[in-house]
Amino acid sequence: MSGHSHYSTIKRQKESNDAAKGQVFSKLTRAISIAVKTGGGPVPESNYKLRVAIDKARALNMPKVNIERAISKGTAGGALEEVTYEGFGPEGVAIMVEVATDNRNRSGQEIKNIFEKGGGSLAGPGAVSFNFEPRGFLIVKKDKNTEEQMLTLIDLDVEDMEESSDGIEVYVDANVLSQTREKLEGKGFNIISTELVQKPKNYQSLVDEKKASKVLSLLDNLEKHDDVQKVFANFDIPEDILEKIANE
């Protein structure tokens, strides 16, 4: 939506501007280890989930030795598992939280507490997931002729795309993310990042500054939890409201 920012964009900007990379690297380590365990082993060429996790780690300048250590940790096994929690934030915003944990009971209680302290509530499986759909997500670097790039992307049968400050955001079927990346690179596109996401089917616009700030505060606290890997939410905020919140 023109003049509005989705939560996915807000989150990426915060992540890239975050000077304290320690927690980011900790989350990436878990993501890589989980990908090894659940995606098909330690070889990126045959485990696309791992390749996506490694690409994101490299994009955020995670040291190579840390990446290799995370792969080894995943190969060694252990109790780490993926769990997805669903809930509602203030104003009824739908939220999905992907967690990597070695103790789902502990994580579940802590996530529940964060929701409640932030004015939301943890819900059961299926409560909000019907509002989202799994998608492959790519950010393509813009060149001087963005319009021509977007026309080429249309010809390549991408599902959806939108120009942003980061680049051109492209959505595809989650099952063809790997093939799409290879196809785009073959056409000369520079891929900044790829990711498997939960894309909202529709967005709720938060136009009140205080209400928007409250929702962002809850999501920020969820993101700060060590076990949380990804947070998805179905809202957008007008850019002028977002700027006011950022300057508070």
* Structural domain count of the chain: 3
User: pTM for the full model?
Assistant: 0.88
Pick the last residue of a domain from 32, 57, 75: 75
**In the chain, count of helices (H) and strands (E)?**
9, 11
- Does residue 45 carry a pLDDT above 50? yes
Kindly state whether residues 123 and 232 are assigned to the same domain.
yes
Mean pLDDT (the chain, rounded): 90
- Does residue 31 carry a pLDDT above 70? yes
- Does residue 80 carry a pLDDT above 90? no
Encode pLDDT of 109-150 as tens digits.
999 999 999 999 999 999 999 999 999 999 999 998 999 999
Encode pLDDT of 188-210 as tens digits.
999 988 999 999 999 999 999 99
| Containing structural domain, residue 159 | 132-200
Kindly state whether residues 125 and 216 are assigned to the same domain.
yes
More confident residue, 23 or 209: 209
Is 2 within a domain? no
Kindly state whether residues 152 and 193 are assigned to the same domain.
yes
Q: Where residue 19 falls among pLDDT bands split at 50, 70, 90?
A: very low
59, with CB counted inside 10 A (0-12, 13-18, 19+), is middle
How many CA atoms lie less than 13 Å away from 221 in the CB half-sphere?
A: 17
Kindly state whether residues 21 and 53 are assigned to the same domain.
yes
Please tell me the predicted confidence (pLDDT) of residue 2.
45
Kindly state whether residues 154 and 38 are assigned to the same domain.
no
Distances (CA, A) of 146 to 2, 10, 36: 16, 22, 36
